[in-house]
C-alpha cells in the first residue's frame, strides 16, 4: 500500500511544479497496477483548493476532487 499526499497530486497537475513528470508517472503507475492507496484525510480538500486558487477554477477543483476519490 502506498501513502500519497496532496503534494504529489499537485505536482502532477501543474507542469510548472518541480518533479511534475515524475509525479504524473507515479500516479499513472499506481492506476495502471491497481495498487492500494492510502491518502491523508485532507487530500481532497487540499487538491481542490489548490486547483480553485491557482487555476481560478472552482468547478475544476471539485471535479478533480471526485476523480481522485474514485481512485
* Helical (H) or strand (E) element with 43: helix 43-54
Partners of residue 37 on adjacent β-strands? 2
Please give the model's pTM, rounded to 2 decimal places: 0.76
Handedness of CA 65, 47, 30, 22 (dihedral sign): positive
Find the domain containing 37 and state its range: 2-69
DSSP labels, 2-27: EE--HHHHHHHH-TTSTTHHHHHHHH
CB 1 within 8 A of CB 38: yes
Whole-number pLDDT of residue 62: 93
How many domains does one find in the chain? 1
pLDDT tens-place string over residues 10-69:
899 889 988 999 999 999 999 999 999 888 889 999 999 999 998 899 999 999 889 888
Amino acid at each position: 500500500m502506498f501513502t500519497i499526499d496532496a503534494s504529489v497530486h499537485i505536482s502532477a497537475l501543474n507542469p510548472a511544479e518541480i518533479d511534475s513528470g515524475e509525479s504524473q508517472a507515479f500516479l499513472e503507475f499506481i492506476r495502471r497496477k491497481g495498487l492500494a492507496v492510502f491518502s491523508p484525510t485532507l487530500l481532497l480538500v487540499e487538491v481542490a483548493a489548490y486547483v480553485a486558487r491557482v487555476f481560478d477554477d472552482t468547478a475544476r477543483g471539485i471535479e478533480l476532487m471526485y476523480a481522485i476519490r474514485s481512485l
